[in-house]
Amino acid sequence: MKRYFLCGFILSVCSIGFNYAQTKAPTPCGPVPTENQMRWQEMEYYAFVHFSLNTYTNQSWGFGNEDVKLFNPKESDCRQWARICKEAGMKGIIITAKHHCGFCLWPSKYTEYSVKNTPWKNGKGDMVREMADACKEYGLKLGIYLSPWDRNSKDYGKPEYITYFRNQLTELLTNYGPIFEVWFDGANGGDGYYGGANEVRKIDRTTYYDWKNTYAMIRKLQPNIVIWNDGGDRGDLRWVGTEEGYVGETNWSLLNATGEVPWGMLHYGVEDGDSWVPAEVNTSIRPEWFYHPNEDSKVKTVPFLMETYYNSIGHNGSLLLNFPIMPNGLIHPNDEKAALEFGKAVKESFAVNLAEKMKAEASNIRGNAKEFGAAMAIDSNKDTYWATDDNVTKESLTIDFGKPTLFNRFMAQEYIRLGQRVKAFTLEALVDGNWKELAKATTIGYKRILRFPSVKAKKIRFNITDSKSCPVISNIGVYNAPVFLHAPSIARNQSGEVTLTTNDIGPIFYYTLDGSVPTTKSSIYGAPFSADGKVEVKAIAYDPASGKSSSVGHEKFDISKKNWKIFGINDENASKILDGNTSTVWHKRGNKIMPFGLVIDLGNNYNVSGFKYLPEQNRWSSGIITNYQFYVSVDNKEWKLVSEGEFSNIKNNPVWQIKNFSPVKARFIKISALKNTSNDDVAGYAEVDVITN
């Protein structure tokens, strides 16, 4: 009897050992994130703040010759910035310590072009210090933006500048406490002031900054930092190829360590990349990065921001949302309102995980071990996960709600410490006894969120249909999120007809023409209506079923284009420039047409005080104008140059370009295209307009 007991005991021990061997954690699949990248990924959402001399000159990029005496934010309060970011649900703030103009928000000892020579606080101020202190007070992490390009420095383009650049980096990374991210803009070289030289300087951004040694210095000074760089060398994070607030539906957190990175790789990552370089989605809460008064009515609405959320964080990226600081040194109330409402909407959308504590089953569990069971995917613990056996790359997990449950969102997360694995998956719901496919997608990564029309079902089934290795799913969420109405888009064609549209189905539009806020007692929109001349249109979308209204859509229209004519061009497609439709475009093509002058007859004399140019919205178009001259005339014979310069950052951010000047009488206007983003001989226009007094 003792012998049988002993044999049984030995067999039991052997069995335990065998099961233990079979239930070891999966081995990593491909590149995995560093601890610094993991900390960054888990932040998910943080802020940019853009503030510089550009704020006072109404420019997108400064040339480096702007007077430092302009900088005097008498009401500046970094604590206001930090409070708003904290209340909006953000985890950190990246401050633009130096933009391309070279002006420094801290009293750098290596240049006179800084806050130490401004009227602000009698030259004793330090905006970066105030930002660091405010972040510490509100429990936020601090990040630093330092433009590698410097249009003020006399040494830019020379070897001496690299020493200057690293000296400034050292100041920023040693004097302000822990820095979670350093951000290097990809704009490098071009025309500038350069200490008075006023010339074009070009550099090879892949070699000039000696990034290898610069990175080594950064990591020595700030061991816990992540590096963002679009300047010619891989950092820890990548740009997604657009500033519009989205990354590809397929989004691998991988790139290759060497070689060119075309737009597709930036936007979608590389499935078999050899380095972990996740996507950071950067965009602004307004059309542009720096503050412009004319954009006070162009702050992104909650539905727009929620779209951004789903297309950034919901697509395995992070969201870096910018606040343009006003000249007084504060975030505008409209921006604050939008950010706080957005934060509230995100919180409400994901407040209740309907899958948590429900019954979950999977047809394959790694070694049949409890620690890798289906329940590990719905326990809200980021460090546990459901995993399958090594040879299983297609598998399903079913969640039973116990009763019919209403939902419209599904979230999945991989345990990315072991790599990114899932290549494709579907989601099904058990409706009236039948399985119905709700959605399908490709990659998951750190977080993937699917949206679909509300459905009531007792069970859902998460099907992994393709994976690079055995899946490891750390978290699943099912939610019934509120649906938000989009503000109506407002357009006016050349004949003066105003059209209101939205992506939503079924709402009623209410509008006003006097600038007042519309209500359900305002005029109801039934069809396009005539609104000739100067007019301010505001509109809301209203859902009678829920009683909810959208935010206010707002457009100001200047003089009517009814009598405008394009002069001297025998091409009927040229009329697309004036049709009020931002999706139509006209190109002037030919051999060596630059500079090309587009002449428009306004029909009457007006006091013209500015003009507006909208490029084609396809940022890869060859006709996006970067440098221009703008002329006016009363007789189409004698012309006066009233404005010239550049449309800064227009390729990455192809929004309306607005240029103002002193009022001048004109019937004819001429835009002379001098250069475009492709350096070829194509001039493209989606829309042209004027500003009158």
Give every CB contact of residue 429 below 8 A, 6+ residues apart in sequence.
Answer: 435, 436, 438, 455, 457, 459, 460, 461
Tell me how far apart the alpha carbons of residues 184 and 229 are, in angstroms, rounded to a whole number: 5
What is the CB neighbour count within 10 angstroms for residue 34?
Answer: 12
Fold of 565-692: Jelly Rolls (2.60.120)
The pLDDT, as a whole number, for residue 17 is: 41
Q: In the prediction, which pLDDT does 92 show?
A: 98
SS3 74: coil
Of 3.30.470.10, 2.60.120.260, 3.30.70.2190, 1.25.40.10, the CATH number of 359-479 is 2.60.120.260
Range 35-349 has CATH code 3.40.50.720: no
Calculate the CA dihedral of residues 240, 242, 246, 249 and round it to 10 degrees: -60
Q: What are the phi and psi torsion angles at 268 (to 5°)?
A: -115, -10
Identify the CA nearest to 686 among candidates 674, 675, 671.
671
Beta-carbon contacts of residue 155 (< 8 Å; ≥ 6 apart): 161, 164, 195
**How far apart, in Å, are the Cα atoms of 112 and each of 30, 40, 59, 67, 191?**
48, 34, 21, 12, 21
Give the amino acid at 641.
L
CATH number of the structural domain 489-557: 2.60.40.10
| pLDDT number for residue 12 | 42
For residues 535 and 512, give the distance between their C-alpha atoms in angstroms, rounded to a whole number: 10
Give the start-to-end residue ranges of the domains of the chain. 35-349, 359-479, 489-557, 565-692
pLDDT of residue 231: 57
- The residue among 458, 452, 509 whose CA lies nearest residue 483 is 452
pTM over cut 0.75: yes
Return d(Cα 560, Cα 571) in angstroms, integer. Answer: 22
Mean per-residue pLDDT pooled into runs of 10, the chain (693 residues):
43 41 85 98 98 94 96 97 98 98 98 98 98 98 97 97 98 98 91 95 92 96 94 83 95 91 92 96 96 94 95 98 98 97 96 94 93 95 95 92 95 98 97 94 98 93 96 97 91 95 88 95 94 93 88 93 91 92 87 79 96 86 89 96 93 91 96 89 92 93
Say if strands 141-146 and 92-98 run parallel, antiparallel, or are unpaired.
parallel
DSSP letter for 494, please: T
The confidence score (pLDDT) of residue 83 equals 98
Closest by CA position to 321, among listed 239, 230, 249, 244: 244
The predicted structure's pLDDT at residue 176: 98
For residues 431 and 592, give the distance between their C-alpha atoms in angstroms, rounded to a whole number.
64
- pLDDT of amino acid 503: 83
Judge whether 35-349 and 489-557 match in fold.
no
Angle between helices 211-221 and 159-174 (to 10 degrees): 20
For position 532, what pLDDT does the model report?
87
Task: List the structure tokens of 227.
Answer: 């590096």
Torsions phi, psi of 310, nearest 5?
-65, -30
Q: Which of 33, 36, 70, 76 is nearest to 55 (CA)?
A: 70
Residue with tokens 């014979």: 637
